[in-house]
Structure 1
Amino acid sequence: MSDGRQTSAVRGDTLLFLTDEQLRQGSEAMFFAYRGFTADPDRILADLTYGRAHHRAIHFIGRAPGTTVNNLLNILGVTKQSLNRVLRTLISDGLVESRVGRNDKRERHLHLTDEGRALEQKLSDAQRARLRAAFREAGPEAVAGFRTVLEAMMDPEMRASYAKLRETGQ
């Protein structure tokens, strides 16, 4: 493939020996890794009485300034009611601004304020530090393999959203 990934036959055929127990262990490792990955931001957010939904919204608004509410709904896979509750809080607390679309007045484009960018930076710094340490310990081949595994686990529409986000280069 042109994106640097090996073909399925080369990658997957040598992994056919994985037992159900090994897969269960991988699943459990992912669960505990996710807990670690979210622990630092959770502590920061707890002081502000925010949760992970706020973190995800702040992250993706910061990653794609001007994203629409509908695009954010698609990325996060939450209900409109749930996202509106989170956005109302972030907007009233001065972390996010909602701007009317230039071409379509029904659209709302979301931007982080200076305060929102500072919080996003603090949350991302905590997660990047954890990732950097883990990647350093694992080595470059493991890092590439990890990304390949994560991308292979994504549903096709999520993989497309992920690829689109990566293309923005922000």
Structure 2
Amino acid sequence: MSVNSFPNKPRAERLDGRLFLTEENLDRGTLTLLAAARKIEVQLRRSISDAGLSATEVAVLTEICLEPGIDVSSLRDRVGGTTPTIARILAGLEKQGLIDRPKAEGDARRRALRLTRQGMGLIDHALAAIRKDMTQVYRQSGEPSVTGAIELLQTIISIHEEQPKS
């Protein structure tokens, strides 16, 4: 399928709601989602560029911010990468004072990852830098679209968490 086949304008309304599940619409939605995620990630990284963090380190911090107390294996599954790489990144972030790795409740072998006050400050600074753009996007889209988009994104996250590991 050619990316050029995607028009810049939304498709006309269809009588049968099931017809939106075409390969073209699924691919268009996926590519659009990826492009939007890249734009937000670039803005996020630029806003904290002074910290000298890699893209993977920023991803680790945002995942921990999204789910405080996440364990290392869940984090590795979300971010990707090998166990030694994630361990090295976590050690570096802990050394910089951005995360804590206390033992998880109920299982002393596991670590419940959390942002420190300094780590949360870094993420807050990054989010503040893109808040203006997101405010404009939310206002243009309207509440039903924003709520629907958030539900869609949360479903994507939960589906991938529920899939068995291969």
TM-score with structure 1 setting the length: 0.67
Work out the CA distance in 2 between the residues paired with 1:53 and 1:155: 21
Match of 1:58 in 2: 61
Structure 2 stretches lacking a partner, 5+ long: 1-14
Match of 1:44 in 2: 47
Shift in alpha-carbon separation, 1:131–1:41, aligned structure 2, 3 A: same
Shift in alpha-carbon separation, 1:12–1:51, aligned structure 2, 3 A: farther
Aligned residues: 149
**Deviations 1:27-70 (CA, angstroms, capped at 9, x unpaired):** 54334322321122111333222122212221222233333222
Shift in alpha-carbon separation, 1:40–1:121, aligned structure 2, 3 A: same
Asked if 1:94 is matched to 2:90, the reply is no
Structure 1 stretches lacking a partner, 5+ long: 1-9, 161-170
Match of 1:133 in 2: 136
Match of 2:123 in 1: 120
Asked if 1:13 is matched to 2:25, the reply is no
Shift in alpha-carbon separation, 1:148–1:46, aligned structure 2, 3 A: same
Shift in alpha-carbon separation, 1:67–1:148, aligned structure 2, 3 A: closer
Match of 1:104 in 2: 107
AA of the residue aligned to 2:123:
E
Work out the CA distance in 2 between the residues paired with 1:113 and 1:92: 11
- TM superposition outliers: structure 1 runs of 4+ over 6 Å: none
Work out the CA distance in 1 between the residues paired with 2:135 and 2:56: 24
Kindly state the Cα deviation for residue 150 of structure 1 after the two structures are TM-superposed: 3.7
Q: What is the Cα-based RMSD across aligned positions, in Å? A: 3.1
Query: Do 1:45 and 1:51's aligned partners in 2 also have CA atoms closer than 8 Å?
Result: no
Structure scoring higher RCO (CA < 8 A, sep ≥ 6) equals 1
